[in-house]
Amino acid sequence: MASVGVLTLELRLENSHSLKDKRHVVQGLKDRLRNRFNVAVAEIEYQDLWQRAAVAAVTVSPDRAYAEKLLRSVEDDAAALLGPDLVGASLEWLA
């Protein structure tokens, strides 16, 4: 049976002064993660707040160990890109 892993990233964007600033950061993160890791990525919360964002990266794999390794790599890459703007990450399994 396939495993569905969901990595949720919580961002606090202290240097964002408008929704446009926030969109620039979030869109760059989404594009980078999609291109590097071939995962589905979407902003899932706080769409109308300037300095907060929640982004989810999702993968489906028949091998749960592979999916977990992939999503941990996504988290590490996001942390390297965002630095202290990444304030939390959680991984959950749907199947």
CATH code for the domain of 75: 3.30.70.1120
Q: Which domain holds residue 43?
A: 3-93
Number of domains in the chain: 1
pTM of this prediction? 0.94
* Residues 13, 26: Cα–Cα separation, whole Å: 10
Q: What is the pLDDT along the chain (95 residues), one digit of tens a residue?
A: 899 999 999 999 999 999 999 999 999 999 999 999 999 999 999 999 999 999 999 999 999 999 999 999 999 999 999 999 999 999 999 97
